[in-house]
């Protein structure tokens, strides 16, 4: 069969346009992700429970973490059991049986947990226990190392966040109980730099010689939030403080290694302030009670001694002759005893008045009233000075107006005089400023008119 070649020199047909890409809506994408995740079926997942939170509705929300990766999970109230509540602790390693789904409101992948089992200790919990055992072996938690917290500290150092509510709670309690001075060393109490900031703040505040005690505090939170207070450097800094340290970290149910290293632990920052600041009002009441008991005791003793002396005197014959010298000595001792008693009473009263004056000097109402009186006095002086200045300025203005009116050229014009002005409006003061034929303007009291110079007479 013969072979033949054919050539077609026509231009090829144009290629068809590419199909337009499909535009997805957010709802469609989330629905597709949800179908894909639910297609995985029942899953058995093992990891560490973190950020555990029990909702008011009864659901337990938490995260499963492993090797730096975490996924949100929820155990609904219908599946919550006492064992599950116990197992879902911060840092605990658990095995969950769940289904993967997508929370459509946020487009977030989430595990709907049906059952929880124990799977050994978590890495965080194991590391914490190893550090605790290490520090315990070194003796940092020994009771013999703990010092007594001064109940009447005058300067209380506080290491906490400068923007949180902790410093306000401590200052409020301290002012209400006696007005101890509060020295704040601000530090981050959460995050990557929290441990470094806390150690630095403890080091700085110890350099102040007047500090009697240090309160280390923050609010409650998850294990991640309180991680800085389980840091080895922070625990060693607390144990090495030169002054007693009160730990007020978290709420009463929270626990950290700082609580073991501190000299005392308070359930709340307010309780920590109560432990360090004396209640001067209660002390004033106690001093008053001691004063009354002392006076009563002294008077009773004097009465009993006087009665005993009278009884002895009645049994002795001729007391005036035999015991006159002893009576004089006894009278002198009685007088000195009464004087000593009065001095003791006066000393206690002065001390009580001093404490009462110190308490009253810290009363904001007294301070505000004193400042208000000063403001009223200053306002009165300011008003008086303003009136005097206004009166002086008024009189000066009136005198200046009189002088100005007397020097007014209009007064001169009113007496029949006129002012001659050249074409440029300048006053003509000499006859040599004009020539015959020049036009000048003459201004009189009532109006102005133009005149022509006919003749010039020079002096």
Q: Are 106 and 144 in contact (CB under 8 A)?
A: no
Q: Looking at residue 121, what is its pLDDT?
A: 56
Q: Are 177 and 279 in contact (CB under 8 A)?
A: yes
Residue for token pair 């002893």: 326
HEC states along 238-299?
Answer: HHCCCCCEEEEECCCCCCCHHHHHCCEECCCHHHHHHHHCCCHHHHHHHHHHHHHHHHHHHH
pLDDT in tens, 170-215: 888 888 887 688 889 888 888 778 889 899 999 999 888 888 899 8
Q: Are 37 and 100 in contact (CB under 8 A)?
A: yes
- Percent of the chain's residues with pLDDT above 90: 5
The b/e string for 434-459 (b: 16+ C-beta within 10 A; e otherwise) is eeeeeeebebeeeeeeeeeeeeeeee
**Nearest CA-CA partner of 233 in 156, 140, 304:** 140
Report residue 6's pLDDT band, with 50, 70 and 90 as the boundaries: very low
More confident site: 330 or 60: 60
Q: What average pLDDT score do residues 381-408 get? A: 86
pLDDT in tens, 282-294: 666 677 778 888 8
The Cα-based distances of 5 to 8, 254, 342 in angstroms read 10, 92, 142
pLDDT at 110 over 80: yes
Residue for token pair 């560490």: 48
Q: Are 199 and 170 in contact (CB under 8 A)?
A: no
| Beta-ladder partners of 112 | 74, 99
The reported pTM is: 0.43
Q: Looking at residue 75, what is its pLDDT?
A: 92
């Amino acid at each position: 069969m013969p072979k033949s070649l054919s050539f077609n020199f026509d231009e090829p047909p144009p290629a068809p346009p590419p199909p337009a890409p499909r535009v997805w809506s957010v709802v469609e994408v989330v629905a597709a992700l949800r179908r894909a995740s639910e297609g995985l079926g029942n899953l058995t997942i093992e990891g560490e429970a973190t950020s555990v939170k029990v909702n008011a509705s009864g659901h337990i929300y938490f995260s499963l973490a492993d090797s730096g990766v975490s996924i949100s999970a929820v155990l609904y109230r219908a599946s919550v059991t006492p064992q599950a509540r116990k197992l879902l602790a911060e840092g605990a390693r658990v095995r969950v049986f769940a289904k993967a789904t997508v929370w459509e409101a946020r487009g977030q992948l989430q595990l709907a947990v049906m059952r929880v089992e124990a799977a050994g200790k978590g890495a965080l919990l194991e590391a914490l226990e190893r550090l605790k055992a290490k520090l315990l072996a070194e003796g940092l938690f020994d009771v013999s190392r703990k010092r007594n917290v001064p109940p009447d500290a005058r300067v209380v150092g506080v290491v906490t966040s400068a923007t949180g509510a902790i410093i306000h709670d401590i200052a409020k309690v301290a002012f209400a109980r006696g007005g101890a001075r509060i020295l704040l060393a601000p530090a981050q109490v959460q995050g990557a730099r929290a441990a470094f900031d806390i150690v630095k703040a403890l080091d700085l505040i110890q350099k102040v010689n007047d500090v009697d005690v240090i309160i280390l505090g923050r609010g409650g939170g998850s294990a991640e939030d309180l991680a800085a207070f389980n840091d080895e450097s922070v625990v060693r800094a607390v144990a090495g403080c030169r002054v007693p340290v009160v730990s007020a970290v978290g709420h009463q149910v929270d626990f950290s290694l700082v609580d073991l290293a501190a000299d005392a632990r308070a359930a709340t920052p307010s309780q920590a302030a109560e432990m360090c600041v004396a209640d001067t009002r209660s002390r004033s009441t106690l001093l008053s009670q001691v004063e009354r008991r002392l006076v009563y005791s002294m008077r009773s003793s004097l009465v009993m001694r006087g009665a005993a002396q009278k009884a002895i005197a009645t049994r002795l014959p001729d007391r005036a002759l035999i015991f006159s010298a002893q009576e004089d000595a006894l009278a002198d001792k009685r007088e000195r005893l009464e004087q000593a008693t009065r001095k003791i009473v006066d000393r206690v009263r002065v001390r009580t008045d001093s404490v009462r004056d110190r308490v009253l000097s810290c009363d904001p109402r007294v301070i505000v009233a004193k400042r208000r009186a000063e403001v009223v006095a200053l306002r009165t002086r300011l008003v008086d000075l303003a009136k005097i200045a206004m009166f002086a300025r008024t009189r000066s203005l009136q005198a200046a107006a009189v002088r100005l009116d007397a020097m007014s050229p209009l007064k001169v014009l009113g007496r029949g005089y006129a002012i001659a002005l050249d074409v440029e409006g300048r006053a003509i003061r000499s006859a040599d400023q004009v020539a015959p034929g020049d036009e000048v303007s003459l201004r009189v009291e009532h109006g102005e008119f133009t005149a022509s110079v006919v003749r010039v007479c020079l002096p």
